[in-house]
């Protein structure tokens, strides 16, 4: 996701400095109950098997601005309007990335993978390639928990989880890339890293410091 996210983000008018100024306050995450907890023991499916797995799509009418507003509520009031705008633009960025990856529109696995990868980049301080990102998405898409999520949630809740996951993931990925280009003070990045750790802890239910992502997908070390 290294080059594509940054390029697309800049193309829609997101400046790294602006992102950097908004990311130091931490991040909380709603709808965790709906999130299909990944089984990190399972390998990434083969390309042949992955094609057999139908994508779970967020089919409810988009509610991007409403979800951006919900996420912005976790920031100080004076910054909420600006942060809401960045989240909306983050969703635009994600949808362009989704198209670039060749996925079905609003594929849940892609949005959840963006959340995992973006927070992982911040926590571990390293880039994640498109190939690695695709492996994580394939891993999620093929898991039974993903296939069952539609049985346990209504379409509106699935939409909210998809949109908020994609927004936060891109937000964090671009914040990380901005920090690499123009490093911020250590206290800023410490706050950002703590937020990433909390985000991953919420959905993985395990120690995110042990998470590893590579071309084979994600697993605990």
pLDDT in tens, 110-139: 999 999 999 999 999 999 999 999 999 999
pLDDT in tens, 3-50: 444 344 434 444 444 444 444 334 455 566 678 878 777 677 776 676
pLDDT in tens, 188-203: 778 889 889 988 988 8
> How far is it, in rounded angstroms, from Cα 178 to Cα 166?
18
Beta bridge partners of 220: 211
Q: What is the pLDDT of residue 51?
A: 66
Listed in sequence order, the residues at least 6 apart from 133 whose beta carbon sits closer than 8 Å to its beta carbon are 1, 101, 113, 114, 117
| Token pair recorded at residue 42 | 């399972």
Residue 218 has pLDDT above 50, yes or no: yes
pLDDT in tens, 130-184: 999 999 999 999 888 887 877 667 889 889 999 999 999 999 998 888 888 887 7
Q: What is the pLDDT of residue 185?
A: 73
85: helix, strand or coil: helix
Q: What is the pLDDT of residue 88?
A: 95
Q: What is the reported pTM?
A: 0.86
Query: What kind and span of H or E run contains 55?
Result: none
Q: What is the pLDDT of residue 162?
A: 93
> How far is it, in rounded angstroms, from Cα 143 to Cα 212?
18
Lowest mean pLDDT among 44-48, 67-71, 207-211: 44-48
**46 or 90: which carries more pLDDT confidence?**
90
């Amino acid at each position: 996701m290294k080059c594509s996210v940054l390029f697309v983000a800049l193309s829609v008018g997101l400046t790294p400095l602006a992102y950097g100024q908004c990311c130091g306050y931490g991040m909380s995450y709603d709808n965790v109950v709906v999130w299909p907890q990944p089984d990190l023991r399972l390998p990434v499916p083969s390309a042949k098997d992955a094609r057999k797995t139908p994508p779970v799509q967020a089919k409810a009418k988009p509610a991007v601005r409403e979800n951006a507003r919900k996420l912005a509520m976790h920031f100080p009031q004076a910054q909420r309007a600006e942060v809401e705008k960045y989240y909306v633009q983050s969703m635009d960025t994600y949808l362009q990335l989704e198209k670039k990856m060749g996925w079905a529109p609003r594929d849940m696995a892609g949005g959840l993978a963006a959340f995992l990868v973006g927070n992982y980049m911040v926590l571990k301080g390293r880039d994640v390639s498109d190939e690695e990102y695709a492996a994580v998405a394939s891993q999620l898409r093929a898991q039974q928990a993903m296939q069952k999520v539609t049985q346990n949630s209504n379409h509106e809740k699935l939409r909210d989880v998809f949109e908020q996951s994609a927004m936060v993931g891109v937000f964090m990925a671009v914040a990380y890339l901005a920090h690499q280009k123009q490093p911020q003070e250590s206290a800023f990045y410490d706050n950002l890293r703590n937020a990433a750790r909390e985000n991953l802890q919420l959905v993985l239910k395990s120690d995110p410091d042990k998470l590893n992502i590579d071309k084979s997908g994600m697993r605990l070390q």
